[in-house]
């Protein structure tokens, strides 16, 4: 299991705390320092079953600068969104946990972290 985090994020710290409390084995990826490639973002989106705009933090300064709220949210715009996430990783929703069963969750709640843990045990 891998968790993409920003150490300054309280939800990330909470997720790590839950993983530790459960004795889970996981790898931490500080995605602002170890920036995911476009291919890695595509793979995580596939695992999440989401589109790039679904995991984009649209209230970040970079989102405003790029005008993301005005961007189309359709198949034709998908690659543009993925490129923006790779170029501006702060826009990626966090934390994201990739479970051992090949799925992933945006772990912003305790329930989502528990879901990832359950998937890792199955």
Active site residues: 9
Judged by DSSP in three states, 56 sits in strand
| E-assigned strand segments in 44-121 | 96-98, 104-106
C-alpha–C-alpha distance, residues 28 and 9, integer Å:
14
- 95 and 104 in contact (C-beta within 8 Å)? no
Reduced DSSP (H G I as helix, E B as strand, rest coil) percent helix, strand, coil of the chain, to 5: 50, 15, 35
């Amino acid at each position: 299991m891998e968790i993409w985090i920003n150490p300054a994020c309280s939800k990330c710290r909470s997720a790590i705390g839950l993983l530790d409390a459960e004795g889970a084995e996981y790898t931490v990826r500080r995605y602002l320092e170890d920036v995911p490639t476009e291919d890695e973002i595509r793979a995580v989106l596939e695992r999440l079953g989401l589109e790039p705009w679904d995991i984009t933090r649209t209230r970040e300064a970079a989102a405003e600068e790029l005008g993301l709220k005005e961007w189309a949210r359709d198949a034709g715009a998908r690659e543009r969104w993925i490129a923006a996430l790779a170029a501006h990783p702060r826009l990626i929703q966090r934390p994201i946990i990739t479970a051992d069963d090949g799925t992933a969750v945006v772990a912003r709640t305790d329930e989502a972290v528990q879901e990832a843990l359950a998937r890792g045990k199955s």
